[in-house]
Structure 1
Amino acid sequence: MQNTQIEKAIAWNPWHGCKKISQGCKNCFVFNMDKRYGRDTNIITKGKTTYELKDSKCPPNSLIKLCFSSDFFIEDADEWRDGCWDFIRRRKDCIFVLTTKRPERIKDCVPSDWGEGWENVYMSVSIENQEMADIRLKHFLEAPVKHREVFCSPLIGPISIGKYLDTGLIKCVNVGGEMAPKKDVRPIEYEWVKNLYLEAKERNIEFYFHQSGSMFLRDGKNIGKWKLKEQIECAEEIQKELENSF
């Protein structure tokens, strides 16, 4: 989904906390945010005031980004997940979007009436390099999901996902760089973005470069930005350039 859509989305974090499982987690913003307040992100806690999403907070046709301070399919939240499914089932008039690094758990964590997926649930799998692309996309494509997107962010290495896009099951490719302090940030390169754009374009699949990251290298020069708003603007400019060039 486009930045403009996500920016307007309602945040729903029924639980907080996560556990790092791959290189993409190294500079996770949730861990960095919790560190400032002396909070242990590895302890997953049910939200005292955020677990239940009130109907008054989400009018019909709302877009709701779900569990962005954790992973919806993390094992520690298994006993709480059904309550979220109940709400999502009832609110068919809203769209729910979530991203996971644990696609192998999807089939075991969906409700009994899930079938091949619900129309109002969009899922993305997060991948950061070729190793994780090959591991996670296999599970993601085998899982019962109605609307699939790929979230290549933070992209820390070149990725080719053409064979996975050839299945016709993935509707959108999102790409983004890493936002982290200068001493920690890992670069994203223009060629990596361009190659993913071309793989998507060749198959008529939506593509969005949503964030350039703090270190976006082009011809060896860092054109990334340090403020999030500027990173988004930079990415939008690159996207327009790609669309006009190919």
Structure 2
Amino acid sequence: MFCASLADVFDNSVDLAWRADLWALVRDTPHLDWLVLTKRIGNVSAMLPADWGCGYGNVWLGISVVSQDEADRDIPKLLCLPAAVRWLSLEPLLGSVSLQSATGPFGETLDWAVVGGESGPHARPMKAEWVHDLRAQCGTLAIAFFFKQWGGHENGK
């Protein structure tokens, strides 16, 4: 289940009762994998449920990054959080991204990377070499790689 794909569970404006109801639903559906994606990784630890422990086994905790600056800032924060699965959404990918920061202080790693270009009438192009480089890095780091789309520009042109 891609949870709140057009929202952010960890936004400060999310009602506390709504978030509590969401965590109750996640606990009640262990047969479903929940993909939770945020751009607000700094808020996550304070907003996880009290019984989170090492992470719910059915929650894939992910962050959205579009540039090297965001990757450098946010990947280490993700890797410090307890989670069954940690993933990146690199969409829209707006530049080359190195995953050198993709190992946490105790050997935590990323499990999955989703890469895609920007869509819409004013989409900025994504270069094919950025995608190929990320795929190679993911192979080296044993991170599952999923290419979603080129976006508004065909084949990175």
Return the alpha-carbon distance in structure 2 between the equivalents of residues 146 and 207 of structure 1. Answer: 17
Report whether the alignment pairs 1:187 with 2:146: no
1:30 corresponds to which residue? Answer: none
Report whether the alignment pairs 1:176 with 2:116: yes
1:209 corresponds to which residue? Answer: 147
Amino acid at match of 2:110: I
* Larger RCO of the pair (alpha carbons < 8 Å, separation 6+): 2
Q: CA deviation at 1:165?
A: 4.7
1:72 corresponds to which residue? Answer: 9
Q: CA deviation at 1:216?
A: 4.5
TM-score normalised according to structure 1 size: 0.59
Structure 1 window deviating more from structure 2 (158-167 vs 86-95): it is: 158-167
Distance 1:191 1:198, change over 3 A: same
Q: CA RMSD in A?
A: 1.5
Contact 1:103 1:125 in 2 (8 A): yes
Contact 1:177 1:216 in 2 (8 A): no
Distance 1:165 1:178, change over 3 A: farther
Q: CA deviation at 1:168?
A: 4.4
Which structure has the greater CA radius of gyration?
1
Q: CA deviation at 1:119?
A: 0.4
Q: CA deviation at 1:204?
A: 2.2
How many residue pairs were aligned?
154
Contact 1:188 1:216 in 2 (8 A): no
Unmatched segments (≥5 aa) in structure 1: 1-63, 223-246
Contact 1:152 1:175 in 2 (8 A): yes
Return the alpha-carbon distance in structure 1 between the equivalents of residues 73 and 83 of structure 2. Answer: 17
TM-score normalised according to structure 2 size: 0.91
Unmatched segments (≥5 aa) in structure 2: none
Equivalent residue of 1:163, what SS?
coil
Q: Percent of pairs identical after alignment?
A: 29
